[in-house]
Structure 1
Amino acid sequence: MSVLSNFAAVLPAPGVLRERLRVLVALEAAFGSRWARYAFDGVDESGFERFRFENGGGDDYHVFLGPSSVFLRAFDHESRMSPYTDYALCPGLLDGLPEDFVPFTRLPQVEETFPALTLALWHDGIAWRHGDPRQSGADCAPSKAPLAREGDTERAYAEVAATCRAEGHDRPL
């Protein structure tokens, strides 16, 4: 089993992911820092809820949640799969992507030339799926994306709390 398959195997179901993201956004809003990392960008015309995380260092992930499906895209600027290396996506990254998710591969007004993606997974209502990324014959490792395992979410909550305390928000969580 590939590294990406192992990563997909530990991602939560869409409903659990939605709740984790809502909690992180709420914590950020209630106790947040000067630079919000977790955000809810509303519901688009197709009915998908849009969540995002930006670490301020060039890495991000965006989650598009529909009633029973999800598209998760991430960019890790240090990844060997960075499209800025060859000015193209890692071959195979989007293999098998359902047509409904194609619009989510490109962020409007930000990615005019090519999508800035180093990770793409989707949940089709049954299971998490992914393409077969290949780079020089190597199995491409997934980007660093929290929310995969229960402990990752708790670490993310703790990071939000630590940032708030460091910036002078003394209210207890």
Structure 2
Amino acid sequence: MVNIGKYYGVGEDSMEAKALERLPNPTMLQKLMKFQASLNIILCQEEWLRYHSFIQDWNEGVSMAKIDNGAGDHLFILFSNEGTIIKGFDHESELSPYAQDEHKVWQGIYDDVPKELLSLLEDEAIEKEDVTFCISHKNSDTSWHKGKVEIPEGTSDGSDFLLGCIFHTPEDFVEFATDYFELSLSLEVVAKIYEDLPITEEMIHILNSSCDVKEVLQELELLP
């Protein structure tokens, strides 16, 4: 397995804005994260090596999706009855607390985030202080919101490449997985999963003949 790091990011402010614009609505985003988590379960038996994961009942009334590229960068997405919040951390960004003498959250990142959504980040597992960008969407809103943060010219908050690791199409996922998992995948089967069709033993075997199909099916049952 190879570490693709920032393979999908270009680090330009204009691209960060476009990445935000490409974010689907929370309902579709949750579906995409489940599709990708399901594929990771099939392709990788070792949970700690999975790039995308999803926990349906992470907390009371809250589901959690995570992207972890294994290189120190991560993206948490929390879905709740009040709305959705995305917290990203690019360990190489100048906005990282570790890049500052004061070791604190960059000014403005959490400003204007609705309190009911910001409170979702208080769990220790979310590592609230490790952040370079935050995006939120209340259920009553029609769009995503990002704090007004002054980003030094020529630097990036990491939202471009981390949001780019949410693969909107089967083709994009197959391109990613071919490198990351070093497997040759069936686009036809991946497309069926993206169509939200029931995942069968045959589909699992086609994608990863070396996995324990029964164990995979047991894990997939936790992703309704």
TM-score range, shorter chain: 0.7 to 0.9
Aligned position for 1:36: 50
Contact 1:93 1:120 in 2 (8 A): yes
Aligned position for 1:159: 176
Q: CA deviation at 1:79?
A: 1.0
Of 112, 120, 125, 1:96 maps to: 112
Write the distance in 1 (CA, Å) between the matches of 2:105 and 2:20. Answer: 20
Closer, same or farther: CA 108–30 of 1 in aligned 2, 3 Å: same
Larger strand proportion, structure 1 or 2? 1
Closer, same or farther: CA 110–100 of 1 in aligned 2, 3 Å: closer
Residue 8 in structure 1 maps to residue 20 in structure 2: yes
Shifted more, 7-16 versus 30-39: the winner is 30-39
Unmatched segments (≥5 aa) in structure 2: 1-12, 185-203, 208-224
Q: CA deviation at 1:159?
A: 2.4
Q: CA deviation at 1:133?
A: 1.2
RMSD (CA atoms): 2.8
Q: CA deviation at 1:43?
A: 2.1
Write the distance in 2 (CA, Å) between the matches of 1:94 and 1:83. Answer: 13
Q: CA deviation at 1:51?
A: 0.8
Closer, same or farther: CA 11–140 of 1 in aligned 2, 3 Å: farther
Closer, same or farther: CA 156–82 of 1 in aligned 2, 3 Å: farther
Aligned position for 1:23: 35
Larger-gyration structure (1/2)? 2
Contact 1:91 1:135 in 2 (8 A): no
Closer, same or farther: CA 109–16 of 1 in aligned 2, 3 Å: closer
Write the distance in 1 (CA, Å) between the matches of 2:173 and 2:45. Answer: 14
Contact 1:68 1:124 in 2 (8 A): yes
Q: What does the per-residue CA deviation read over 1:80-107, in whole Å, with 9 as the maximum and x for residues that have no partner?
A: 2111112011111111110012223345
Larger helix proportion, structure 1 or 2? 2
3-state SS of paired residue (2:120): helix
- In the alignment of these two chains, the number of paired residues is 165
Q: CA deviation at 1:157?
A: 4.3
TM-score after normalising by structure 2: 0.63
Letter in 2 for 1:84: Y
Write the distance in 1 (CA, Å) between the matches of 2:105 and 2:173. Answer: 28
Letter in 1 for 2:108: G
Q: What does the per-residue CA deviation read over 1:20-54, in whole Å, with 9 as the maximum and x for residues that have no partner?
A: 10000000111225311211233244412101111
Q: Percent identity?
A: 18
Unmatched segments (≥5 aa) in structure 1: none
